[in-house]
Amino acid sequence: MAKNKEVTDASFDADVLKSAKPVVVEFWADWSGPCSRLSPVLEQLAVEYADKIEVVKINVDENPETAGAFGISSVPSVSLFKDGKRRISVIGVGAMRYFEMEFAEYLR
C-alpha cells in the first residue's frame, strides 16, 4: 500500500485548503504509537476512495504552525477539509469502517 503524501506548513494551503477534492489530513507524530496504528487505515482509505478524496499527513512536531492554527493538541487527530474549511474532526484511532461512517457524506 502506498504511503500518504506528507504536507508541511509551507504546502498546507496549496495541498489542502485549495484542493479541488475533499482532503483528509492525519495530524501525527513519530513518537505516537496510536499514530503508527492509524496510518495503514488511512492509507487504505486513500486507495479505496482515491476518486473522491485525497488523504495526506502532517507531522505536528515538524509543522507546529499548522498544528497550532487548527488547535491540534492530541495525536492522532484526523480532519476532513473541503473548500478551504475544516468540516469534520476526529481524535484517536479507529477502524476503516469508523472513518467511512465519519466521512460518508464526502465518500459518495
Closest by CA to 69, choosing from 27, 32, 31, is 27
- CB 43, CB 55: distance < 8 Å: yes
Does the pLDDT value for residue 47 go beyond 70? yes
Closest by CA to 5, choosing from 35, 25, 33, 19, is 25
- If DSSP codes are grouped into helix, strand and coil, which group holds residue 38? helix
Q: How confident is the model at residue 1 (pLDDT cuts 50, 70, 90)?
A: low
Closest by CA to 8, choosing from 55, 64, 51, is 64
Chain-centroid distance, C-alpha 41? 11
Higher pLDDT, 46 or 1: 46
Full-model pTM: 0.95
In the CATH hierarchy, which top-level class contains the domain 5-107? alpha beta
